[in-house]
Structure 1
């Protein structure tokens, strides 16, 4: 079960847009992530690589935790919003719930629940 201080530091890292670094610092080496009901990605190195690949397509990202954060023992639910400015001139707003299972101070399983239509980039009229 994560301490309140660990959760605070994790959220702070994500809000700093240090997504890959947060995975490195707070996820177990055998951790898994899945998007909605898609098959999970497994292994911290795999998770970091996937995160970096996504972020490489973005010019800017704004990450925000919408409080409160819910914790019950080793289970945590975080409501996130992400605003992406893509290199191609489009933008996306993503609102999701992250459902996590922690072992001690490390995340071992995480599932993201969101509407996939949010990921479709909007083009700006002047782009």
Structure 2
């Protein structure tokens, strides 16, 4: 059986985010040693720590008005997704912005993800 390409895996993950199943998809698509980072902030290392961070983020969203993938790209072991999000967060207030997620893949799992936004 052939493993899906990273383009296919990235599309499946993006679809899960848009369908409200991001936390379930986290278990499927992220490696145990994943490193995730927001802009230039200190990275969060390991699946357990990142799961906690993701759960806290989604729990703090009080109103989700929409998300959309605007563009994607694929390179050697790397995918890019340009997003638009519109939501209200309990601590940050209204967030209506663009974000680029850069994902590095190894053996069908994300080992590094960096989110760039202003």
1:17–1:63 CA contact under 8 A, matched in 2? no
Structure 1 counterpart of 2:67:
63
With normalisation by structure 1, the TM-score equals: 0.79
Is the alpha carbon distance of 1:31 and 1:99 closer, same or farther for their aligned partners in structure 2, counting shifts above 3 Å?
same
1:2–1:102 CA contact under 8 A, matched in 2? no
Q: Secondary structure at the match of 1:82?
A: strand
Is the alpha carbon distance of 1:48 and 1:63 closer, same or farther for their aligned partners in structure 2, counting shifts above 3 Å?
farther
Structure 2 stretches lacking a partner, 5+ long: none
Number of aligned residues = 113
With normalisation by structure 2, the TM-score equals: 0.84
Structure 1 stretches lacking a partner, 5+ long: 116-127
2:53 maps to 1:50: yes
Q: CA RMSD in A?
A: 1.9
- Aligned pair partner of 1:85 in 88, 102, 106: 88
1:2 Cα offset (Å):
6.1
Q: Aligned partners of 1:13 and 1:57: how far apart in 2?
A: 19
